[in-house]
Structure 1
Amino acid sequence: MTTVTAAIIIHKGKVLITRRKLNDKYLPGKWEFPGGKVEQGETPEDCLVREIKEELDLNIKITQFFGESIYEYPFFKIKLLAFLAQPVSGKIKLNDHAEARWVEIKDLNFYDFAPADLPFVEKLLKLTT
């Protein structure tokens, strides 16, 4: 099982979501909370800070653990660890995604999310109702 991290970056009442490129090998065009694979010897938190900097050129501050989702895709099984975070500095630059959007949490269900991210969408929606 591959351990992957996801950042739920909230700023001014909106959450940052990213869309995978249409030519991605896995889950083309799906929306997700940005993040990436934990490398050997790396903590999930360190991984997330590194991945967000590499993928989006943002510096973030992790505020707390949000949840875990285990999902078995046809191509591999992942353990997705999500953390709440805040942007600290930087301006979004798409290095790895087709698109990034700041959206109202109540509107998350209008996006076609990767299956492993769906439990986090549901948890966020419950927190806002």
Structure 2
Amino acid sequence: MANVVIIGPAHPLRGGLATFNQRLAEEFIAMGHHCSIYSFSLQYPKFIFPGTTQYTDEPAPKSLLIHTVINSVNPLNWMKTGKRLRKERPDLVIVRFWLPLMGPALGTILRQVRKNKHTRIVCIADN
């Protein structure tokens, strides 16, 4: 049984990426693996987000462990999240990359994770 972490949008955020990440996590769990999602406490600053809301009114998936911890614009948060994941030592981290704005946050987190010399990192690049 592998310990898998997905880094990317998930509930309470809405949209295709969040839905895909949640379905991917459910599939890993169905295959017998432990899987959690590290999602965003702040995904986009308000001046960047074109829609009315980033959040869904749907209830949270009961079967998933979602950590809403990543602040996309706070470098101290990136270091803290990366160190937390490094100590957790997941077997696999799957990171979603879809927007250059997320590069500094995701890159900083993954550089910290990589220091444990155990975790394999896979990127799913969208668009």
TM-score, shorter chain, exceeding 0.5: no
**TM-score, normalization by structure 1:** 0.28
Give 1 or 2: higher helix fraction.
2
Write 1 or 2 for the structure with the bigger share of strand: 1
Structure scoring higher RCO (CA < 8 A, sep ≥ 6) equals 1
